[in-house]
């Protein structure tokens, strides 16, 4: 199975690491999406496996627990016939002395070609990339970035809407601490979408009003009923319980009343609006269960597309781009 | 060679309002004459300083020599040699060592080690509270007898206003200043860089400007109440400068310092998670930098201090949130400040004043530093080349701390000779 399943234009792909989408050009996004299209064709076959990464080792290095993301990367890597090594490190071991750079060198010595890294500290994959011969894929770092999540979200929007230009997205929830939101802000705006952020002021990022080019221009709205008006994409974020404990919210009940996306509120969005969530959903907290299961919801589709997009990313950075 | 005649330099001695072309004669380690066309005596070594600037040796109000306790980062030996390379002939050593300098024995250790191993004068600062724990007063009187130049829990503020009030009352009786690190711990907790758009971009927890400003305001209120001398360390925000300006107008006994890095760098240096630019207080915005420069120019900020905070490469080569705060600043201070002169933002004379007369005035008499070239003073002199271009090569640093965001940068303006007590302790060989 070495024949190409779709006309791929990957000659222009020079990126070795995937650390964020903030520096990606629209052409790079399109290359990833078209490669993901090809991967979806692979996934539709009876044998969902191609030899593209045979003989390569993908290490899932997860410093922070995430069954979903880790499983998605593992399946993606196995579908490409890579050898997969899963490693987890407890949060407590991330202290001075347990050097990340040492770990990276060890993994390289063991033969890692691609290291997928999830880390609770922002910027950790950048440190790894500076010290690594292997390709680094950021599987989510701290409050900073989650590029493959943004790519699969964008891919899902592209699949359902056919275009990005002129679409308006509202991202609802704990944006300050959300790497998913951060990467989506970059990706959506770069591809021509308008973005409105909606959250209680304690969960909004600092400095957006005078971003000075450091972040994309976005609208900010603290009233969800206003923010959601006519939106083409409604993206909800998971609410961490500790936000209430740390005094950022008066109560979860108040959050539900003011910021839960439910069917009533969803009616104020565009009639064909998409409802997205990176999962796992806290049902009936940030998202009403009825809305999550409704026709607008793309949540299952996002999970499905996640495998194809991660296959595309692993394939593109593997340097094996003729063997699909 | 303790007798030197420095010929034809432009002598800048702000303490005495001197700025002109003079010769400086040093005999047996002391300044003996400043004048024109001085003739060398038999035993005088003659140094031609034509085209160069000759000033009093710089005095650093705020540095970390890391000894005792963290000798892998710096020692009194290495730190004072870094000081010499930076043109500093006296450095005030902050007491956040391990153990902290909170009693006579520990202060004596610093002084003794400095005398036997140091290249320049080391003036210890004593703790405000025992072990810097912010619970009980340190042995303030004993520390004063041991010769500390003031008291500080640098690294953190004294958390309790009541305890600080008592410290100020006590320090006033000893006629020594309280040197305060201004950071409200609760507000700053977990913060890595300035709270704002760069923190947002990098997904890092921020330290708001208000964390500094509220302690500045609190401490000024307490200084006003107690009549104590308050010296505010490493001011970094526009709001802080404004509060100090107002307090000075009201006659509160407050002085302030700013670091070269807060005067010349902004938070954008942290992009790419560059831990070399991680410092406390954090690098702020261009607007804050402008306010700090205004504060230097109108005298709201008295002095420039390095807050030299050396760390090993290993300490800094890690995730941003795990990296320690600090910049190794002694050896780049003058060169980086000259950028402000080149841009026309601060006069050279004012920079020199902030590095000499002003810190000497804050330290006060009795500690052997005058910040001046007055005949009779110890011959602590620095010779500067304001036009010399050089590249910051940290492998050449005398400091064990190579941690600077300026590594590899080109600077214009360099210390080319440092004389301490009539001895040439550093000479640029490039
Ligand atoms: Zn400090």
Residues of A in contact with B315 (CB under 8 A): 96
DSSP β-ladder status, B53-56 and B381-391 = antiparallel
CB contact under 8 A, A206 and B195: yes
Main-chain dihedrals φ then ψ at residue A221, nearest 5 degrees:
-145, 130
For B14-86, list the strands marked E by DSSP. Answer: 18-27, 30-35, 45-48, 53-56, 58-63
CA of B132 to the centre of ligand 1 (A): 12
Total residue length of chain B: 430
CA of B233 to the centre of ligand 1 (A): 6
- In DSSP terms, A137 is beta-bridged to A18, A116
What pLDDT, on the 0 to 100 scale, is given for residue B168? 98
Q: Is the pLDDT of residue A248 over 50?
A: yes
Report how far residue A174's alpha carbon sits from residue A142's, in angstroms, rounded to the nearest whole number: 13
Residues in CB range of A78: below 8 A, 6 or more apart: A49, A84
What pLDDT, on the 0 to 100 scale, is given for residue A98? 64
What pLDDT, on the 0 to 100 scale, is given for residue A243? 85
Range list of H helices, B299-383: 313-316, 333-342, 348-355, 357-363
Q: Is the pLDDT of residue B210 over 50?
A: yes
Which tokens belong to B119?
């290249």
What pLDDT, on the 0 to 100 scale, is given for residue B58? 98
Q: Is the pLDDT of residue A313 over 60?
A: yes
Q: Is the pLDDT of residue B7 over 70?
A: yes
Partner residue opposite B200 with nearest CB, options A101, A124, A206? A206
Closest CA to B242 of B210, B203, B274: B210
pLDDT tens track for B112-124:
999 999 999 999 9
End-to-end Cα distance, chain B: 22
Q: Is the dihedral of CA A318, A320, A321, A324 positive or negative?
A: negative
Partner residue opposite B197 with nearest CB, options A99, A176, A211? A211
Q: Does B319 touch chain A (CB under 8 A)?
A: yes
Q: Which of B153, B307, B377, B385 is catalytic?
A: B307
Mutation for B interface: A118, A127, A243, most B CBs within 10 A: A127
B275-300: average pLDDT? 98
Which tokens belong to B107?
């202060």
pLDDT tens track for B326-362:
999 999 999 999 999 999 999 999 999 999 999 999 9
CB contact under 8 A, B199 and A122: no
pLDDT tens track for A122-159:
999 999 999 999 999 999 999 999 999 999 999 999 99
Q: Is the pLDDT of residue B397 over 60?
A: yes
CA angle B370, B374, B379 (to 5 degrees): 70
pLDDT tens track for A163-192:
999 999 999 999 999 999 999 999 999 999
What pLDDT, on the 0 to 100 scale, is given for residue A3? 41
DSSP category for residue B39: P
Report how far residue B334's alpha carbon sits from residue B326's, in angstroms, rounded to the nearest whole number: 18
The burial of B429, by beta-carbon neighbours within 10 Å (0-12 exposed, 13-18 middle, 19 or more buried), is given as: exposed
End-to-end Cα distance, chain A: 7
Residue pointed to by tokens 């912010």 = B134
Greater confidence (A324 vs A211) lies with A211
Which tokens belong to A298?
């793309």
Q: Give yes or no: B307 in active site.
A: yes
Q: How far is CA B229 from CA B59, B130, B246, B253, B398, in A?
A: 19, 20, 16, 5, 34
In this structure, of A23-37, A55-69, A94-108, A167-181, the range with the lowest mean pLDDT score is: A94-108
Report how far residue A58's alpha carbon sits from residue B173's, in angstroms, rounded to the nearest whole number: 68
What pLDDT, on the 0 to 100 scale, is given for residue B38? 95
Q: Please, are residues B409 and B392 in contact by the beta-carbon 8 Å criterion?
A: yes
CB contact under 8 A, B322 and A214: no
Q: Please, are residues B413 and B384 in contact by the beta-carbon 8 Å criterion?
A: yes
Report how far residue B109's alpha carbon sits from residue A322's, in angstroms, rounded to the nearest whole number: 69
B407-414: average pLDDT? 98
Alpha carbons within 13 A on the beta-carbon side of B284: 27
Greater confidence (A7 vs B374) lies with B374
Q: Is the pLDDT of residue A6 over 70?
A: no
Residue of A nearest to B198 (CA): A214
Report how far residue B143's alpha carbon sits from residue B126's, in angstroms, rounded to the nearest whole number: 6
Residue pointed to by tokens 């330099």 = B9
Average pLDDT, chain B: 97
Q: Which residues of A247-277 are buried (b: 16+ CB within 10 A; e: fewer)?
A: ebbeebeebbebbbbbeebbebbbeebbbbb
Report how far residue B374's alpha carbon sits from residue B365's, in angstroms, rounded to the nearest whole number: 14
pTM, full prediction? 0.95
In this structure, of A30-44, A77-91, B16-30, B112-126, the range with the lowest mean pLDDT score is: A77-91
What pLDDT, on the 0 to 100 scale, is given for residue A209? 87
Closest CA to B300 of B261, B248, B362: B248
CA of A291 to the centre of ligand 1 (A): 52
Q: Is the pLDDT of residue A323 over 60?
A: no
* Model ipTM value: 0.93
Q: Please, are residues B410 and B94 in contact by the beta-carbon 8 Å criterion?
A: no
Residue pointed to by tokens 């793309």 = A298
Average pLDDT, chain A: 92
pLDDT tens track for B19-60:
999 999 999 999 999 999 999 988 999 999 999 999 999 999
Q: Which residues of B391-424 are buried (b: 16+ CB within 10 A; e: fewer)?
A: ebebeebbbbbbbbbbbeeebebbbbbbbbbbeb
HEC per residue, A175-241: CCCCHHHHHHHHHHHHCCCEEEEECCHHHCCCCHHHCCCCCCCCEEECCHHHHCCCCCEEEECCCCC
Alpha carbons within 13 A on the beta-carbon side of A115: 33
Q: Please, are residues A275 and A263 in contact by the beta-carbon 8 Å criterion?
A: no
What pLDDT, on the 0 to 100 scale, is given for residue A89? 76
pLDDT category of residue A1 using cuts at 50, 70 and 90:
very low
Q: Could you give the percent of chain B with pLDDT greater than 90? A: 98
Q: Is the pLDDT of residue A195 over 50?
A: yes
Report how far residue A75's alpha carbon sits from residue A85's, in angstroms, rounded to the nearest whole number: 12
A63-87: average pLDDT? 94
A274-299: average pLDDT? 95
B139-155: average pLDDT? 98
What pLDDT, on the 0 to 100 scale, is given for residue B1? 57
CA of B155 to the centre of ligand 1 (A): 4
Report how far residue A293's alpha carbon sits from residue A297's, in angstroms, rounded to the nearest whole number: 6
Closest CA to A275 of A301, A255, A257, A254: A301
Q: Is the dihedral of CA A198, A200, A204, A207 positive or negative?
A: positive
Q: Is the pLDDT of residue A5 over 60?
A: no
Q: Is the pLDDT of residue A7 over 90?
A: no
Which tokens belong to B260?
């070269």
The burial of A135, by beta-carbon neighbours within 10 Å (0-12 exposed, 13-18 middle, 19 or more buried), is given as: buried
Residue of A nearest to B192 (CA): A122
Residues of A in contact with B70 (CB under 8 A): none
What pLDDT, on the 0 to 100 scale, is given for residue A87? 87
Q: Which residues of A174-213 are buried (b: 16+ CB within 10 A; e: fewer)?
A: bbbbbbbbbbbbbbbbbbebbbbbbbbeebbbebbeebee
Report how far residue B233's alpha carbon sits from residue B219's, in angstroms, rounded to the nearest whole number: 12
Give the distance from residue B67's alpha carbon to the nearest chain A alpha carbon, in angstroms: 21
Report how far residue B418's alpha carbon sits from residue B356's, in angstroms, rounded to the nearest whole number: 14
Which tokens belong to A64?
């922070």
Total residue length of chain A: 324
Q: Is the pLDDT of residue B135 over 70?
A: yes
What radius of gyration do chain B's Cα atoms show?
Answer: 20
In this structure, of A88-97, A312-321, B338-347, the range with the lowest mean pLDDT score is: A88-97
Report how far residue A194's alpha carbon sits from residue A232's, in angstroms, rounded to the nearest whole number: 10
């Amino acid at each position: 199975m070495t024949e190409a399943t779709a006309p791929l234009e990957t000659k222009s792909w020079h990126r070795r690491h995937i650390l964020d989408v903030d520096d990606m050009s629209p052409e790079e996004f399109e290359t990833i999406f078209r490669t993901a299209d090809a991967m979806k064709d692979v996934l539709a076959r009876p044998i969902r496996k191609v030899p593209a990464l045979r003989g390569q080792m993908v290490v899932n290095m997860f410093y922070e627990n995430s069954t979903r993301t880790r499983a998605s990367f593992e399946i993606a890597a196995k579908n490409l016939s890579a050898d997969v090594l899963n490693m987890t490190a407890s949060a407590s071991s991330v202290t001075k002395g347990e050097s990340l750079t040492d770990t990276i060198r060890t993994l390289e010595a063991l033969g890692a070609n691609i290291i997928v890294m999830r880390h609770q500290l922002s910027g950790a994959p950048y440190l790894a990339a500076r010290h690594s011969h292997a390709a680094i894929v950021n599987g989510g770092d701290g409050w900073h970035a989650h590029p493959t999540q943004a790519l699969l979200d964008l891919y899902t929007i592209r699949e359902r809407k056919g275009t990005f230009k002129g679409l308006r997205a509202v991202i609802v929830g704990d944006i300050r601490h959300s790497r998913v939101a951060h990467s989506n802000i970059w990706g959506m705006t770069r591809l021509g979408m308008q973005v409105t952020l909606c959250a209680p002021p304690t969960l909004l990022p600092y400095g957006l009003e005078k971003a000075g080019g450091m972040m994309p221009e976005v609208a900010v709205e603290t009233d969800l009923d206003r923010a959601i008006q006519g939106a083409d994409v409604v993206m909800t974020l998971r609410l961490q319980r500790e936000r209430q404990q740390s005094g950022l919210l008066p109560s979860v009940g108040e959050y539900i009343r003011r910021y839960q996306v439910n069917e009533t509120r969803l009616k104020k969005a565009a009639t064909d609006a998409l409802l997205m969530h990176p999962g796992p959903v806290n049902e009936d907290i940030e998202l009403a269960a009825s809305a999550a299961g409704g026709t607008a919801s793309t949540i299952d589709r996002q999970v499905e597309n996640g495998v194809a997009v991660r296959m595309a990313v692993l394939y593109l950075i593997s340097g094996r781009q003729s063997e699909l | 060679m303790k007798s030197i005649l420095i010929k034809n330099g432009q002598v800048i001695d702000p303490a005495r309002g001197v700025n002109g072309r003079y010769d400086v004669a040093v005999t047996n380690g002391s300044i003996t004459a400043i004048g024109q066309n001085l003739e060398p005596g038999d035993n005088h070594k003659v140094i031609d300083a034509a085209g160069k600037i000759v000033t009093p040796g710089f005095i650093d109000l705020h540095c970390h020599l890391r000894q005792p306790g963290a000798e892998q980062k710096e020692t009194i030996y290495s730190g004072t040699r870094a000081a010499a390379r930076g043109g500093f002939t006296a450095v005030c050593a902050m007491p956040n060592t391990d153990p902290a300098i909170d009693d006579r024995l520990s202060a004596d250790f610093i002084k003794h080690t400095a005398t036997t191993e140091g290249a320049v004068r080391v003036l210890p600062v004593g703790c405000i509270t025992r072990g810097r724990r912010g619970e009980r007063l340190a042995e303030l009187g004993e520390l004063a007898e041991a010769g500390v130049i003031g008291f500080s829990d640098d690294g953190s503020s004294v958390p309790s206003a009541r305890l600080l009030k008592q410290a100020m009352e006590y320090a006033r009786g000893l006629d020594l200043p309280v040197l305060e690190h201004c950071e409200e711990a609760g507000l700053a907790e977990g913060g890595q860089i300035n709270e704002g758009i760069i923190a947002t971009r990098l997904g890092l927890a921020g330290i708001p400007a208000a964390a500094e400003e509220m302690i500045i305001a609190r401490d000024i209120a307490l200084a006003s109440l107690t009549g104590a001398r308050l010296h505010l360390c490493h001011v970094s925000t526009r709001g802080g400068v404004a509060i100090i300006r107002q307090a000075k107008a009201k006659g509160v006994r407050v002085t302030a310092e700013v670091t070269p890095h807060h005067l010349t760098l902004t938070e954008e240096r942290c992009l790419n998670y560059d831990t070399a630019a991680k410092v406390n207080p954090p690098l702020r915005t261009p607007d804050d930098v402008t306010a700090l420069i205004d504060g230097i120019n109108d005298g709201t900020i008295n002095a420039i201090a390095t807050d030299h905070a050396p760390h090993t490469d290993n300490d800094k080569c890690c995730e941003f949130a795990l990296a320690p705060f600090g910049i190794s600043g002694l050896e780049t201070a003058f060169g980086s400040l000259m950028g402000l002169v080149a841009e026309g933002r601060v006069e050279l004379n004012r920079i020199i004043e902030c590095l000499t007369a002003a810190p000497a005035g804050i330290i006060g008499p009795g500690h052997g530093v005058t910040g001046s070239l007055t005949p009779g003073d110890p011959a602590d002199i620095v010779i500067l080349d304001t036009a010399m271009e050089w590249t910051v090569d940290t492998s050449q640093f005398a400091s064990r701390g190579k941690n600077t965001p300026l590594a590899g940068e080109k600077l214009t303006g360099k210390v080319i000779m440092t004389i301490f007590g009539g001895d040439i302790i550093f000479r640029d060989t490039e």
